[in-house]
Amino acid sequence: MRQKVFNWGRYPQGDVDLLPLYYLEELDELTSKPCIARGNGRCYGDSSLSSQVISTITFDKALIFDKKQGIFKCQSGMQLSDILDIIVPHGWFLPVTPGTKFITVGGAVASDIHGKNHHTEGSFSKHIIEFEIYSGEGLHYTCSAKEHPDLFHATCGGMGLTGIITSVTFQLKKIESVFITRVQEKARNLDEAFELFEKYSNHTYSMAWIDCLKGGNSFGRSIMMAGEHTTLNELNAKQKPEALKLLQGSKLNIPLDLPSFMLSGLSVKSFNELYYHKILGKVKQDKTYFDQFFYPLDAINNWNRMYGKHGFIQYQFVLPLSTSRAGLVEIMEKIRNQGSGSFLAVLKQFGPQDGMLSFPMEGYTLALDFPFRPGLLKFLNKLDELVLKYHGRLYLTKDARMDAEVFKASYPNLGEFINVLDKYVPKRSFSSFQSERLFG
């Protein structure tokens, strides 16, 4: 059935044949034309759009949960939210989680997602025991770091281009409670922010909200947020028996597409509230439910509609350690002068990473939203030049518009990736609007 489909940024929109996957046996027929897998559409741009899309949302069964060893196996369309509901009451947690729990495991592998713990625990692929993938022509492979390692490393972060991941087995992480012991600290400027990342580098989780509009002495003012899973010892007698109990939150809905002018007002207000009221002193420590720590935005359904019906682009880049500071200053100045970026951005430290197309590299990553406006694409091309100048790159799962040249110049293992495609998918049976743009 032909229909209009778009992902989280609501840009671009594609006319798409969206075909649901129920059973493995259907794959031969479903992939007879070039196609791409789509999970829950939480990537921002066109990574999971193509004229033929295989939707895995209906392919979502839990297959194995070893409660002793903390090993979980499921079909690729299962969502992290469902996995959390199952594992948390048994004292297990996701090894890596993004800022929303409404993504599928297949999407987690294909984007090789990172969480607030990248600097300490790496990306999702580091915790995969094995996965199964259908690469077309009736061929299924089981892949791990040892078995078909080339296909394994190309698939993690490979944006669906190596085939349809069908099941994933991964290692969970032990927890003692549903809470996170959180520390928040204000940084008055960018230098202080970098110092705080150093200070909190031993914390499992860390990230900072950064104000992109403030100039002068307050340039780069931020709120650092670090966290650890709360241990039983930290809970009082009343909390202990309920340490692993899931809480059900209610959700706010954003029913209509808000006009985009509302936006800056809204976010300015919320940041100020955070900055001036929430953290009264310089440092604040508290315990928070894991949902609030990891998924603050999930509490507002469809928050992406805040940007109005034209959608938005999330721009996320990473710079290597050596150029992070200088690069961030120049890029943030540019954004500030142009004045069209979101007020709030997320700054995060990455640890070392190897992979073929995985996004992270040791250094710092900044992510911010740009509501769609005339002239935006040109402006972002200018930002790309700066990212290249500082030897950085853009996150493919957030991308909707990068040029092939920028992509080729910034992903050094691209050649290796293409060799794997030649070996396993010589007919290039899997392609997206994004891959057509970047590889074409």
Partner 1 sequence: MGSILILGGTSDIAISIAEEYLSNGYQVVLAARNLERLGIVKSDLQIRYNGVVEIKPFDAEELQSHHDLVGSLDPLPDITLCAFGYLGDQSIAKKNTEECLKIITVNFTGAVSILNLISERYKKNRAGTIIGLSSVAGERGRQSNYIYGSSKAAFTSYLSGLRNELFHFGCHVLTVKPGFVDTKMTKHLELNPWLTAQPNQVAKAVFRGANSKRNTIYVLKMWRFIMFIIRQLPETVFKRLKM
Ligand X SMILES: Cc1cc2nc3c(=O)[nH]c(=O)nc-3n(C[C@H](O)[C@H](O)[C@H](O)COP(=O)(O)OP(=O)(O)OC[C@H]3O[C@@H](n4cnc5c(N)ncnc54)[C@H](O)[C@@H]3O)c2cc1C
- Residue 133 or 331: the one with the smaller Cβ distance to ligand X is 133
Is 109:124 a contact under the CB 8 Å cutoff? yes
Q: Considering only 40-48, 139-147, 182-190, 238-246, which stretch makes contact with ligand X by CB under 6 A? A: 40-48
Selection from partner 1, ligand X, none that 22 binds (CB < 5 to 8 A by kind) is partner 1
- Residue 212 or 214: the one with the smaller Cβ distance to ligand X is 212
User: What minimum distance in Å lies between the beta carbon of 12 and ligand X?
Assistant: 14
Residue 39 interacts with ligand X (CB under 6 A): yes or no: yes
Residue 227 interacts with ligand X (CB under 6 A): yes or no: no
Q: What residue type is 418 in one-letter code?
A: I
Selection from ligand X, partner 1, none that 9 binds (CB < 5 to 8 A by kind) is none
Residue 285 burial (CB < 10 Å; 0-12/13-18/19+)? Answer: exposed
User: What minimum distance in Å lies between the beta carbon of 297 and partner 1?
Assistant: 24
Q: What residue type is 126 in one-letter code?
A: K
User: What minimum distance in Å lies between the beta carbon of 118 and partner 1?
Assistant: 28
Residues in the chain: 440
- Residue 89 or 259: the one with the smaller Cβ distance to partner 1 is 89
Mask 274-313, x = binds ligand X (CB under 6 A)?
Answer: -----------------------x----------------
CA angle 344, 102, 357 (to 5 degrees): 75
User: What minimum distance in Å lies between the beta carbon of 62 and ligand X?
Assistant: 15
Residue 125 interacts with ligand X (CB under 6 A): yes or no: no
User: What minimum distance in Å lies between the beta carbon of 130 and ligand X?
Assistant: 14
Selection from ligand X, partner 1, none that 58 binds (CB < 5 to 8 A by kind) is partner 1
Selection from partner 1, ligand X, none that 62 binds (CB < 5 to 8 A by kind) is partner 1
Among positions 57-116, residues that touch ligand X (CB under 6 A) are 76, 98-100, 103-104, 106-107, 110-111, 113-115
- Residue 104 or 324: the one with the smaller Cβ distance to ligand X is 104
- Residue 136 or 327: the one with the smaller Cβ distance to ligand X is 136
The continuous run of DSSP H or E covering 301 comes out as: strand 300-301
Is 369:313 a contact under the CB 8 Å cutoff? yes
- Residue 70 or 160: the one with the smaller Cβ distance to ligand X is 160
- Residue 98 or 327: the one with the smaller Cβ distance to ligand X is 98
Name the site residues for partner 1 (rule: CB under 8 A): 1, 20, 22-23, 58, 61-65, 75, 82, 85-86
Selection from partner 1, ligand X, none that 327 binds (CB < 5 to 8 A by kind) is none
Q: What residue type is 350 in one-letter code?
A: F
Is 370:316 a contact under the CB 8 Å cutoff? no
Cα dist. 269→4, 188, 207, 210, 226 in Å?
Answer: 34, 18, 20, 14, 23
- Residue 266 or 297: the one with the smaller Cβ distance to ligand X is 297
How far is 123 from 313, CA to CA, in rounded Å?
A: 23
CB-based contacts of 225, cutoff 8 Å, min separation 6: 116, 182, 183, 184, 206, 207, 208, 209
Residue 365 burial (CB < 10 Å; 0-12/13-18/19+)? Answer: buried
Selection from ligand X, partner 1, none that 160 binds (CB < 5 to 8 A by kind) is ligand X
Per CB under 6 A, the list member of 5, 6, 7, 209 interacting with ligand X is 7
The continuous run of DSSP H or E covering 28 comes out as: helix 27-30
List the structure tokens of 99: 């800022």
Which has the closest alpha carbon to 190: 329, 336, 338, 335? 329
107 Rama class: left (phi>0) / alpha (psi -120 to 50) / beta: alpha
Cα dist. 270→10, 49, 208, 284 in Å?
Answer: 23, 33, 15, 18
Query: Which stretches of the chain bind ligand X, using CB under 6 A?
Result: 7-8, 36-43, 47-48, 56, 76, 98-100, 103-104, 106-107, 110-111, 113-115, 159-160, 164-165, 297, 397, 432
